[in-house]
């Protein structure tokens, strides 16, 4: 029995680059544990070379064997990510940006950040309540936590999920829509994926009643090509204007400013947000749309 020819090796591949290619291959595959052959195909490296890289990474915990013959990223890889994220600005740096946004739009402004533990979700990092606050949303604490963590509910969830690798989006879709979510949260997989495509196209998400009685606009905070979180503004549905141009522009500008901070480029003037088209009367639009 003859072995198939190995995948072409990328030009300029060194042992150190090979380790990075193997680590990156895990992010391109669905699931968590993979064989050397699967990783070799994703990294475009020789299977034997990938096997050596995996075995050499066991001692430092970069990779772990689970089950035998298959590998996943280990605590050593997690430590690198934790150190990288620890260098990003915290709530103190984000709060002035949220304060300005909340005052400008008379809205509840929140920064949600991506949490990878136990599957993709989000967690509250900072907020500027203004005249609103979490207690004004009308959800019991347990429901509030459930809705707040889920990427299936809310404009912030869509803004983050739109920039996740495809395997992680598939993992998000396995989670149910939280019971406390409003009628605006897309229930079906096709509707959710279509909403993510609109986020990629327009640069923001907008949902009518992401929580019953509350409308929202959110824009992603990016660290290079990696999503860090999302800036969200929430307003009572009767007070949300029909034309979202100002809200979308202001929210994407605030997210751009935080993207600069996260990327370590300082509080520079954020990139000019994409122009947002004037929208039609939202009362004629169905629930679940992101273009009212």
- Tens digits of residue pLDDT in 64-93: 998 888 999 888 888 888 888 777 777 888
Of 115, 113, 29, which is closest to residue 73 (Cα–Cα)?
29
CA atoms within 13 A on the CB side of 73: 19
Q: List strand residue ranges (DSSP E) for the chain, in order.
A: 63-65, 71-73, 108-115, 121-128, 205-211, 214-223, 226-236
Q: How many CB atoms lie within 10 A of CB 136?
A: 14
82 three-state secondary structure: helix
Which pLDDT tens digit goes with each residue over 206-250? 998 888 899 999 999 999 888 999 999 999 999 999 899 999 999
Report DSSP state, residue 273.
P
The pTM score is: 0.78
Name 90's Cβ contacts closer than 8 Å, sequence gap at least 6: 125, 126
Q: What is d(CA 83, CA 63) in angstroms, rounded to the nearest whole number?
A: 18
- The pLDDT mean for the chain works out to 83
């Amino acid at each position: 029995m003859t072995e198939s020819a190995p995948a072409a090796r990328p030009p300029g591949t060194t042992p150190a680059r090979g380790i990075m290619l193997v680590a990156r291959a895990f992010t391109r595959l669905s699931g968590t544990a993979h064989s050397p052959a699967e990783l070799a195909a994703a990294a475009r490296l020789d299977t034997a070379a990938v096997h050596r890289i995996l075995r050499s990474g066991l001692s430092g915990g970069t990779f772990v064997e689970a089950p035998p013959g298959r590998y996943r990223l280990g605590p050593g890889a997690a430590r690198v990510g934790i150190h990288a994220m620890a260098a990003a600005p915290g709530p103190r740096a984000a709060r002035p940006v949220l304060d300005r946004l909340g005052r400008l739009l008379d809205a509840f402004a929140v920064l949600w950040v991506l949490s990878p533990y136990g599957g993709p979700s989000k967690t509250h990092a900072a907020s500027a309540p203004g005249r609103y606050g979490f207690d004004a949303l009308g959800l019991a604490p347990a429901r509030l936590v459930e809705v707040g963590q889920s990427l299936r509910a809310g404009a912030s969830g869509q803004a983050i999920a739109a920039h996740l690798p495809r395997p992680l989006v598939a993992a998000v879709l396995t989670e149910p829509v939280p019971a406390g979510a409003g009628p605006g949260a897309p229930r079906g997989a096709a509707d959710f994926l279509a909403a993510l495509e609109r986020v990629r196209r327009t640069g923001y998400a907008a949902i009518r009643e992401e929580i019953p009685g509350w409308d929202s606009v959110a824009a992603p905070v990016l660290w290079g090509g990696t999503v860090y979180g999302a800036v969200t503004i929430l307003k009572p549905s009767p007070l949300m204007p029909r034309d979202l141009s100002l809200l979308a522009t202001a929210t994407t500008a605030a997210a751009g400013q935080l993207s600069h901070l996260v990327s370590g480029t300082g509080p520079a003037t954020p990139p000019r947000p994409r122009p947002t088209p004037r929208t039609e009367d939202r009362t004629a639009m169905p629930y679940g749309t992101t273009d009212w």
